[in-house]
Structure 1
Amino acid sequence: MEPDNQTRASGFILLGLSEKPEQEALLFALFLCMYVVTVVGNLLIILAISSDARLHTPMYFFLANLSLVDFGLATNTVPRMLVSIQIRSKSISYPCCLTQMYFFHFFGIMDSVLIAVMAYDRFVAICQPLHYTTIMSPLLCGLLVGGPWVFSCLISLTHILLMARLVFCGNNELPHYFCDLSPLLRLSCTDTSVNEIFVLIVAGMVIATPFICILASYARIIAAITKVPSAGGRKKAFSTCSSHLSVVALFYGTTIGVYLCPSSVRTAVKEKASAVMYTAVTPMLNPFIYSLRNTDLKGALKKLLNRKITSSS
């Protein structure tokens, strides 16, 4: 196509999860309930950790940050979809699309890195318990959280700058419910090879590398647990890791399929299904996963709720 015939897109049409109007009411009710549970669950985790001095430890510091990131990830995508269904308008302007894509990558990268940081925390706690407080110092914990925030900001900004150089012409219908990178690249009528190379590099840095580090950490953890002489000690060690392993399976099981699988085996339906898992389902389930088997956190949540009920009555 000649450059003279190319025009920059003023906006896109988000086709949503389903193109059947009769399903929109059900989708609206389902995702509204999921979003409310996500917001309440993650904010309760943050409030419980911040209000209970016993939970001012590295593990809960990382968990509070993960809850904040999950809240941001869900808020970036789900409310926009709910509004689109309610007002029956699927259009999104080009600047709003890039903004949504920026925050999607920002929170997504943070999620991946924080999960790996939490695996390192469990590794130190189980494999080097006598040196835990020395290794996991406040300075290191601040760096392990502050560093990813800066890194995520820079990587997400680079994605946006590379996307802004592309030209979109002709079809502006995006087969997704938010502005994701892969569907947008397929709509461009200019060369996207630089963007695709950068996607692979970033996927290797923020998905493959953390996942390999998590596997290595848990290999060492399992080896250390098997050497524990008492069955009670082994059970306690495994229980502290089971919640985190569930989150690892949920998050990486979907993101690897989207960003590291060949494009030839990916379809719009698979991409949307995976996106629902890591933008809506995982942020909703994380508070339950971490609180149901954690006695200290359940105690803090009960105290927080009792305090709110007492003050309101």
Structure 2
Amino acid sequence: MENAPVPHPEQQYLDLMQRIWSTGDERVDRTGIGTRSIFGTQLRFDLAGGAMPLLTTKRVYWKTATREMLWFLTGETNIRPLVLQGVKIWNEWPHARYVQETGEDIALDDFVQRIAEDEGFAARWGDLGPVYGKQWVDWPTYRYRKDGLFEAGEGINQVAEVVQSLKASPGSRRHIIEGWNVAELDRMALPPCHKTYQFHVAGEGADARLNCLLYQRSCDVALGLPFNLWSAALLTRMMAQQTGLKPGELVWMGGDTHLYLNHEHLIEEQLAREPNGTPTLGIVRKPETIFDYKIEDFVVHDYAPQAPIKAPVAV
């Protein structure tokens, strides 16, 4: 009896999309658009040999996702550095806030142009609050003073601490980067969706592998998840290189895992496509720290995706 063919790794993503669209509970959501949603999902990807969860059934702009990850690692929370690199994925949130607070009906492209050209305007209107990177590399702390008041203490660099703990205590169960700072959620343009990263070392010596589990509380499967999978795998690869470990497995877990009702054309078109090819990621140098990577350090091989499929972002 012949062995059954091994499914393409991307098929699990397509199966998840099909399951949500076919059986998901229709819900009224924060954006007012409406979703079909299921709760509690999991995908697993082997990162050995440079493999990456880079979708082939539509083009995923991996350089954009990489630039965003590098931006997170700077601790920056203003969109201007992204805008100057042509990265558009965070533009809608500050634009919506500007329109709401000023009443000026400025087009998104014009708003973004002002962010790029006017540093003062960007400082006032381009900040997202203490989102992702701020929590990752500068989690706020407070000290109790003798007069009974509190003052800000030194921030905690969770990313640096995890790199160090992976080297010093690989068997620890505390290799965690957390973005869900309850005290600061109301100051964030968008509370973190990909909120908790936990790393795990399997094996010993030269064969030790670094696994990563990402828990995502809320997931837009059509637009967000392709970026989230790439970014989590990228962070795992960077962590593995910095700690002298081999890439292991990425385990992705979703809470509210949904598709927006106005993404029907994207969903149906993508589900009609077949995944093909096995793209890989090469990292051309090992920087001194995990905070020193540049976009030029990453090269993707054998990526021949099908055409992109556009759909509106829900804000």
Task: Please state which band the TM-score falls in when normalised by the shorter chain.
Answer: under 0.3
Tell me which structure has the larger Cα radius of gyration: 1
Q: TM-score, normalised by structure 2?
A: 0.26
Structure with the larger strand share = 2
Structure with the larger helix share = 1
Q: TM-score, normalised by structure 1?
A: 0.26
